Every structure is written in structure tokens, then in C-alpha cells.
Structure 1
Amino acid sequence: MDFRRLKYYRHNSLILVASGDRKLLSAIEQVLAEEKYNCITATDGEQAWDMILQKKPAIVLADWTLPDVSGLALCHRIKANLEHTDLITTYFILIVEAFNYRQRQIGLDTGVDEFLGNPIDSSELKTRVRSGLRTKALMQSLTWTNQRLLAQNDLLDSLSLFDPLTKLLSEQAFASVRPKIMQQFQGYGNYKGYGFLSVLNIDIDRFSEVTESYGSQIGSEAIKAIAGRLSHSCAANSLIYRCGLDEFVCVTPHHEASACKQVANDLLDSIRKHPIAVSSGLLFPLTVSIGGVVRVLDSRTTSDENSFSALLKISTEALLQAQQSGGDRIYIEESSPE
């Protein structure tokens, strides 16, 4: 992370705080003012939504019990809005009851990035906001990186960068960067200093049973919820692509080879720990299988498309092994340059 860019975000990013509890609103506003953040407030959901569309805040901090449009519904409007794609990277913090874990589970499925317990602890508030600004800056940086790769192939205008359902990077975007991806991660640019690269193939276990029993609409909602958890649980510098109906690819540079397995375990746990909730009220105890490969990046690493395709092949074979072993597990291979 470029700390000069982070400093820019701190002093120039707008934070919207929305709550019908004026005492709570005042307390949060006071803490943010003391930290010299640029802050605006709203007392109901529709007012907050109008401000979001007009002002495009970097962080939205909203109360679950917000009048007329709840904080949860407000998050859904932001994360699922196809007309305003510039809202995709908005960092959303939901204020929930301190020990209400059901609210947190539903929030994760909706796309909430972080939670803040009520009553408010000022140190926790400061930490959540700092984390949000770092994540927002990093997401913007990663988006710019992928856009530059697409622009090199003159495809930026013709390709959709984000998958419309999950808001992850799309299969088209993945196909377009594959010829350049090894060069991107070969110790240059924003990734200088990383010595390893991992590729994880992720597939939802027995997903066809969900669509056969409940239909494609419920299946789409389940995919969206799983994509939100994967995005929330991956490493900060990961790039996640939706590649196929219920398949995802996660590409991450690392300082150590062992970090790959940690990322895979975090992704696996994010799905298995809680059932997936959909709008009909159904809960699905879904799991995923993950197959991956981690490779050292050194002077022997070639930067052509064939080199990355070889990694994809290994990770696909590892995924198959994880699935044949019963699913809900990971299988990681280590690979060295030829």
C-alpha cells in the first residue's frame, strides 16, 4: 500500500453516518470530527440513499434500525445496484447490537464489509474507519491495476470488468488479463517484493442440487452470498474472479509459500461456518472445495500465457482431487518453474 495514497484518502474521503438515534449520531460525529475526518450525516434511510447517490462517500456507516429504509436494506441497495457501478467499492459498516450474531450473519450475506457494536466504543469506531479507508484505497488500486491490464489489450471499452451478479471481477476480465498476469506478478509494479504466487480454484459443492430443488433464482442468491463471503475473507491483495456458474478463481501474491494455505483455509471457513441465507428465509449449509497451486517467483519464471495456464491446470487438478475426497476441503500443490 502506498501510504501517500492512504494519507490522501484519509483527508479527502467522505464518510456518511446514518442513524435515527440522534444521540448515537452525535457521538459518532464527534469522534470522527476529533480525528479530522470529512463527515456528513443522515437521520433516515431515504435521505442517506440520496446522499450516497449525490456525494459518493467512501464509507457508509449505517444503523441496523435506521427509519424507513433499514441499514441492511441500504447496504443491499448499494451492493446490488447495477445502475450505479461506481458504488461497488463503497465500504459499508453496519451498526448492530453488540452481541447479536444473527444480525452479523445476515449482514455478511447481504454484503456488509464490517460491523460496529452498539453501544459505540470510540477506539473500535476509529479502528473500523481506518480499516475501511485502507480497504477502499486498496480496492481502488486493484481496480486500476486490472483496468491497466485490460487497456493494454484494447479491450477495456468492450469488456465488462465486473460480474453483474456477484460484483466480483468477471470471467471476461480474467480471460483478458491471463496473457499478462505473470508479468504483472513477476516482482514489478505494485507487487514488488512478493516471492510467491498462488492460484486457487473454488467450486461450490453439490450446487446443482440447490438449483434442481429450488430453482435458478434461489441459486443466484446463494452464489451472490457466497461471493460476498469469499470477497470479505480473502487476502487484501487477492484478485477474485467469477469463472463459470458456481466457480471462482483467486489469484494472490505472497511473501511466504505457507500464506497460500492460510488464505485457502480462511475462504473455506467463511462458507462452512454459517448457513447461506436467501430472501425466501431458507438456510443452506453449503460448502466449497478448493484446489490450488503456489509457485515461487524468481528469475526462472516466464511471463507468457503458457506459464499461467500451467498453474491453472495444476489448480484445476487439485480441485478435482479435493472434490473426489468428499468436498469441503482444500488441496494445495507446490510448483517450481521449469
Structure 2
Amino acid sequence: MSLYHLKSDTYQFSHNNQPRVLVVSTNNELVKQICSILIKYQFAFEIANLGEQAWQMINRNCPDLVICDWEIPDMSGLALCQRIKAGLINQSLSRVYFVAVIADRQKEQRAMGIEVGIDEFVYTPIDEIELSLRVRSGCRASVTAKLLGWTKQKLAIQEKLFKALELTDRATGLLTQQSMQLGLPRFLAELEQQNFDRTYLNLMLLGVSQYEQVRDKYGNRIAAEVMGAIAGRIRNKVEADSILCHYGCESGNELICITTNIDPNCINDLGQRLLAAVSTHPIAVDGGLLLPMNLNIGSVVCQLSADLDFPQLIEQGHQLLAKAKQDGKNCMRIADISAQTPIYTA
């Protein structure tokens, strides 16, 4: 229960969009003095007797500004400020403006307070004009900081959304991982509904062996140029209706090729064409560099179905790709899971 009772809820946190102030003290005379000033200058506020009570109120309904007595029984104002500014439970709490009330102008108290994040100090006896100005400027700073925080969050969400909506990867011109994951199930469902004679699906995971070395030595621009050239060579060798995707957009070095009208007996030939397309001739990039590159392939064959578990297929492809890398450069592993008896082909 508050030490100083208000006759109207005009000053409660819920009132419109006024800046919100929390007063923390067990000193009844100090609370009355501060609250009378807040009422006079029309600030919305609440009162807490103890530090733990204040902490619960702050987490329940975050104020814009806290006016806290330096000495409170269960927790010092210093400790309360430190807990708020840490923002461990809620990062937005770190933007709460904190005003400490101290009895004198001791430099030691000010230094300790500044170190833990106290924004401003007021001294007893309270000066009405000084307190009103500090509260007004503090609330303005707190609200501005919160708006900036919300704006940053909104921009981050928008950036993530726009990135997800990009259909093709800039470096390779191929589908992005997100667009493939969103569009492929619908595409396969339509194929199945139209009864096209495409019984088998082949998913090839293509790993570019020297990508990391090129990126580390020549930088991201040259690495992107290399991936673009490799994507072009792959595109010229796959089936006309194959779906190509730059799957490893974070690591940069993986492509996916999905073909739905292929005889399982022809998959090895397709893989060999792709391996040769990349390794036979070096990649020419800006500056006259000729960079020899190689692929490894993990290939999964299965029967076409609208309810295929693509994450599982991709995981199986990764396992096969890892085995192919262990075999050496320009190696491929194939598993025909439609036959229930996986066949690995180097």
C-alpha cells in the first residue's frame, strides 16, 4: 500500500499516454513533498514503499522515470538502479530514467551512482522548480529512448521479412532457401494432383570444396563472383525443369538441385556432368584470377509425394555430402531411399 494516498486515479500509470513516474521511499514527508510537486506539474505517478515492491511494479508496468530515495530498508536506491539498468529480464528497463534523492552533495555517493547508471541527482530539501525540470527532461529522454528502441525492433523485423520475401539470391541468381521451402511443397502437390508421370524425386546437395579458402583469401566479393559462375555452369547442365537453390546462404558454399522427372539409373550420370562442369576449367574472376574449384555431391532419390519431409531429405543429403567429402574432391554419394535399401555410389 502506498504511504501517500491519492483521491483521484488521475495520477495512476493507466492515465492516457502521460509520462509515468514511480516514487520509491519510506520517508512519508519526502513522499508527500515529491508527490505534491508531481501533482502540481501534472505528472502521472505511483508510489512504492520498498525496493522489492518497486521492482515488481516496474516489471508489471514499466515507468518512464523513477525517483528513488538513496536509503530504503530492504534495498538501497543504488541496488535498485543497478537491477533496472542491467535489463536482464527486460531490455527495455535499461532505458528507464533514474533520479536518486540524496541528503547532501557528497562526491562519493555521486561517483557510486554514476557508475551503476543513475541518470540524475536531486538533493534534500527538495527544490520544486529543480525537481520539475529534471522530471520533465528525464521523462522526455526516457520516452525518446523507448521510441528509438521500438524503431530498431521494427526495422529488424522488417529487414527479416524483406529478406524472407526475396525470391532469388543476388550472388547466384538462384532461388533462396526461404523461397524454395515456401514454394516447393505447393509445386509438388500440384504435380501429384495432375498425375504427371514423374514418379521419382532426386535431391542433390552440392558442396563447393574451396569456397571458404577463396572467401578468406580474396574476400566476400570474389567469393560471391565464384558462386555466381558455378551456379551458371550448373544451370547449363541440369534438366530443363530442375529446381536450383542457393541453400547455404549463410555459409555460402551449398547449392541444391531438385529434379522430379528423372530415372534413378540416370542420377549418377547427372552428378558426373555437374562435377565435370565445375572442375574441368578454372573459374575466371575479376582481376584476371583463375581459380580451380571442385564439387562434392550428396544425392537422395525417393518416390514423389506431396507430403515429403523435406527437412529430413536435406538432412540425409547433408550426411551423404559429408561422406563424399571424406572420399576426396569431386566425389559423390547416392542413396535410393525409395528402394528401402540405400545404395552409396562413389
TM-score, normalising length: structure 2 = 0.47
